[in-house]
């Protein structure tokens, strides 16, 4: 006979776990995929969709328990585009992620991005922002999410005999898409969307290869909105 002594706090964790996850199939899956330390973080999240989001992202991206705690503290779910969608859309996307490990753009991209680690002063230019991102490229990729591969800086494209420059160009492995990033100081303006759409049409026509999905544009503005 094995006797296991649990502290009062561990007993409370177990009670909480049992109250949140009542189905044996879910419990069995969690035990295979996550550690008890992961689970203790997840069971105290206040929303079922949020819990499912973190469970699936932990499974897919193999987060450590510390990474999970960092993501929760940074309010990753609330900043991810999927959290702004209707509940049925969130449920469908999470079910798709669970069954096929297939990400959607709404699960990948977020707003706002937290780039405090760049260490920029109060006044800086778009070139300063770009240079700082490249200098801290590893941490930037961690913030925008894993599976991004860096392709180019100031990628030159020519449209109607006029040169344009895409600030940063990435490739996302799971989405199988090029991701063009435009950096802007200040608030978002409608004209920026039109310019990005121009870039994406060019990438779709000249840059994507067979089997890739349509390119995605991400406009990063420093404004509060």
What distances in angstroms separate CA 162 from CA 27, 62, 188, 204, one per listed residue? 59, 44, 24, 18
**pLDDT of amino acid 208:** 92
Report residue 67 CA to chain centroid gap: 13
Give the mean pLDDT per block of 10 residues along the chain (225 residues).
Answer: 69 85 73 86 90 90 89 87 88 88 83 69 73 75 78 91 92 92 87 94 93 92 73
pLDDT for residue 217: 94
Quick one: which H or E segment has residue 55? helix 48-61
The distance of Cα 42 from the centroid of its chain, to the nearest Å, equals 18
CB atoms within 10 A of CB 70: 13
Beta strands in 36-195 (DSSP E): 148-159, 162-172, 177-184
Per-residue b or e along 91-111, where b marks 16 or more CB atoms closer than 10 Å to that residue's CB: eebbeebeeeeebbbbbbbbe
**pLDDT tens by residue, 146-164:** 788 889 989 999 988 899 9
- What are 27-50's pLDDT values in tens digits? 777 778 888 899 899 989 988 999
Domains and CATH numbers, the chain: 8-108 (no CATH), 116-221 (3.40.1350.10)
- In total, the chain counts a number of residues equal to 225
CB-based contact 28:36 (threshold 8 Å): no
Q: Residues near 31 by Cβ (< 8 Å), separated by ≥ 6?
A: none
Using CA atoms of 13, 16, 22, 24 in order, give the dihedral in degrees to the nearest 10. Answer: 0
| Pairing assessment for the beta strands 216-221 and 177-184 based on DSSP bridges | parallel
Answer whether 182's CB lies under 8 Å from 196's CB. Answer: yes
Read off the DSSP letter of residue 64.
-
- Tell me the pTM: 0.65
pLDDT of residue 125: 73
């Amino acid at each position: 006979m094995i006797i296991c002594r649990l502290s009062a706090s561990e007993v409370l964790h177990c009670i909480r776990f049992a109250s949140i996850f009542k189905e044996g199939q879910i419990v069995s899956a969690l035990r295979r995929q996550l550690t008890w330390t992961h689970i203790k973080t997840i069971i105290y999240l206040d929303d079922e969709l949020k819990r499912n989001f973190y469970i699936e992202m932990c499974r897919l991206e193999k987060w450590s328990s510390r990474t999970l705690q960092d993501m929760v503290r940074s309010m990753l779910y609330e900043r991810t585009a999927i959290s702004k969608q209707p509940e049925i859309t969130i449920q469908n996307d999470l079910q798709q992620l669970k069954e096929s490990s297939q990400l959607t753009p709404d699960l990948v991209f977020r707003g706002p991005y937290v780039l405090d680690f760049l260490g920029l002063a109060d006044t800086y230019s778009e070139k300063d922002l770009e240079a700082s991102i490249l200098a801290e490229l590893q941490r930037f990729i961690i913030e925008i999410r894993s599976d991004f591969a860096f392709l180019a800086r100031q990628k030159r494209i020519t449209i109607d005999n006029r040169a344009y420059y895409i600030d940063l160009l990435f490739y996302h492995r799971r989405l199988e898409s090029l991701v063009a990033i435009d950096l802007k100081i200040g608030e978002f303006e409608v004209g920026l969307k039109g310019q990005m759409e121009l870039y994406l049409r060019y990438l779709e026509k000249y840059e994507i290869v067979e089997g890739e999905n349509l390119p995605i544009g991400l406009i990063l503005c420093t404004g509060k909105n």
